[in-house]
Amino acid sequence: MYKHGDLRIAVFPDPAFQENGMLLWIEGHPECWIVDPGFEPQPRQLLRAAAEQRLTPIAIVLTHAHVDHIAGIDAVRHGCGAPLVAPRGEAALLADAAENLSAFMGLPVTVAPAEQTIGPGDVLALGASSWQVLDVAGHSPGGVAYYCAEAGVALVGDAVFSEGIGRTDFPHSDHARLIRNIRENLLTLPGATVLYPGHGPRTTIADIRNYNQTLREALES
């Protein structure tokens, strides 16, 4: 579990894709978010962790809707009844196994529509914290990040990683758009901002700016 002031973040990588499902809550508040629930056993781990912390999930929050980030939604919905909050630009992926890439794996996954859709410029609340929705589309058609200025934290999905950037060879990916969004909407955040990506270890804005060679080459090209 990671601490950022009163913010708590527990990360549960799934064994199939090492996708980071996350549990977020504010110390002293009873509500939590479950972020990007993937393949089992991750959904059970997330729900168990929420129960152990005596937390009530108030939302399943998505950064984007590729299969490794949505495979556990039904299990979490069934387990706690929390509504799904998803980017508006990802609606087609939720409903279509080809669009969310699960059909190509031979494990088609579709998810019922989100109870709430959000987009860049929106603000979400968790306990006493406020989260800005940022545009990081490019890896997927409507991907978003969630930035909490007071905690100095951003959940960035598969836009950027500690040592790379999101793939842009998928249907509806757009490399130029991804790089533009990283430059304009992530690299403009304070350098100490801690990034929680959809795969791999956490990092910071300063570190990806200075040491992420893949990103640096893409920015310079």
Q: Domain locations in the chain?
A: 2-220
* Cα(210)–Cα(17) distance, integer angstroms: 27
Architecture field, domain 2-220: 4-Layer Sandwich (3.60)
Instruction: Provide CB contacts within 8 A for 39, sequence distance 6+.
Output: 14, 15, 16, 17, 19, 68, 71, 72
Inter-axis angle of helices 73-80 and 42-52, nearest 10: 30
Q: The whole model's pTM is what?
A: 0.97
Residue-level pLDDT at 206: 97
Question: What is the mean pLDDT of each successive set of 10 residues along the chain, which is 221 residues long?
Answer: 97 95 97 97 97 97 97 96 96 92 89 96 97 98 98 98 95 95 98 98 97 93 83
Q: Which tokens in the block code for residue 84? A: 């799904």
Residue-level pLDDT at 107: 85
DSSP 24-47: EEETT-SEEEEES--STTHHHHHH
Q: Which tokens in the block code for residue 208? A: 């990806």
Q: Which tokens in the block code for residue 67? A: 């299969």
Residue-level pLDDT at 157: 98
Strand partners, 10: 23
> Which amino acid would we find at residue 155?
L
